[in-house]
Structure 1
Amino acid sequence: MIKPALLCDTCPNVFITERNHASNSYLTRAAIAAGWTITKSENGWWLNECDECRTTDRKDTTT
């Protein structure tokens, strides 16, 4: 069974959909509905940030 996932770029959190083989657009819409933000940075890369990082402004210190 393949479950699409979205990784937070700030911390180790992962968003997983309930649908198997979901499209990228479905995954993006579901993550945004769950409180995640997905923005394009100045250099053109997409940045994924989970709801925890958005509300606490936490930065990952494990790297």
Structure 2
Amino acid sequence: MSKSTKPLTKREQEVLEALAKGFLYKEISQKLLISLDTVKKHCKNIYQKLNVRNRTEASNYFNSRKAA
């Protein structure tokens, strides 16, 4: 799984961290005070930038980077 060299924005990093903690999209929108559609757009961007297919793979990526 090769990762993109495009960095995540600060907000995408916040969304990714919330995903890795198990928050649902609705919970992320409430926590970060953004719309549900915005959360979905950030997730789509995160998945593309990290070259992952879903929130589980994105969470695994986050946790592996955090442990390193």
Taking structure 2 as the reference length, the TM-score comes to 0.30
More strand by share: 1
Taking structure 1 as the reference length, the TM-score comes to 0.31
Greater RCO structure (CA 8 Å; 6+ sep): 2
